[in-house]
Structure 1
Amino acid sequence: MNDRKAPVLAKGPGTPRPAFRADIVGPLALHRRALARALVRSGAFATVEEHVAVESGSAGTGYDVTVVDLPALGVAAVQQICAGRATLAWGGYLHSGAVAALVETGLRGYVSVIALERELALAAMRVAAGVAALPSLDTTSVRLTPAELRACQAYLVDGADAPRALVAAELGISERTLKVHLANVRAKVGSTAANRVELARELRARGILR
């Protein structure tokens, strides 16, 4: 069995009447229990259930929010979960560009691994209530040089299917110089992209590429 449910009821004197149902998804039991504990202590969740993974085809309609262990599941798995659920991603130290890329697939909230327990609970409550709980996705601090912008446009858009050497030749620069420009862009935006398709998606999410 790769799916385990562990219902936990929010209790305690003086707590608000529980209103939400939450689902915690991730392969690490220690993380799931810590996340569940944070939600239960808030007093806002009537039920918190744990699952190792999301069953294929499950839309998660019975939950108001699904909290996912992003580092343990991976970005690709979280993107699939986002497609059918009100999802809050927890963990890691994602740059706003990476968060913006996940938002494109339906992510409703994100809290880093250093978030306080109450911050996690508040974010989960916001997502459960239909309100986004995202960090600032301000992109105004990112400044690419004209050469970097040309490199991105040529490699990620105009020549998206062309070999890097050919793109460099069309730009009139060496392949090494093109690689340096792209590396600088990745560093400036804090990209975690595994390939040029993902990098293009991140830059579009930040408004750098059209």
Structure 2
Amino acid sequence: MLTFPEFFTACSGKWTTERTYLSMPQGSIERSYTEYHVEPITLIDKQRILTLSTQAGIKLEVQSSTMQQELPGFAISFDTRSETGETVSMSLQALFVPDMYISAESTAIKLPPPVAAQVVTEPQAEVIQGFYLRDEGYSETGTAVGRFTYQPTRQTLEMTTYYRRSVAVDQMRMVAPNLRLRTIITYQRPENVDEIPTTIDLVGFGVEQRSV
């Protein structure tokens, strides 16, 4: 079983992904191949992302370099090629801040998660939850702020991102040292912020293997 920090250490390296996407409205299927390069995020990048996150109303309980060093995250660069020949390249940094580090003075709103992102936190209380911060979003440009959960016994990290028009639930499960399962479900974002997203636009799933 990987602890929260150990999970991010295990994610480092070069990964290749074969993924299939199903468009629910059109009923179409598309496949893609991706190469990921993942490395630990630096303290300087952590501080930069935390500075950006203050614009979203997130404030840490303690602003110290020692505490910031403990926050896990990773720097990712990837190249994706679809079966139609379309290519996409991107680099980003992501930081994960458990709720225990979030100040009560924070104004960031915890929006209701889709069914696919709901987890039971009691009575086991093993699930770690918090804010997921990126310096770049996937489907929309600019800083992205979402929520995450990590389940140690399942070695599963789940990231829920609320974009302006959609809500993405991205799950990463480590099933072996060099093998991960990946799923993504994209919902339409309801106009009412208190409404749980239910309309699914896209479902993606795949297998990721680390190059040894």
The TM-score range, normalised by the shorter chain, is: under 0.3
Scaled by the length of structure 2, the TM-score of the pair is 0.22
User: Which structure carries more relative contact order (alpha carbon 8 Å, separation 6+)?
Assistant: 2
Which is greater in Rg? 1
TM-score in terms of structure 1 length: 0.22
Normalized per residue, the structure richer in helix is: 1
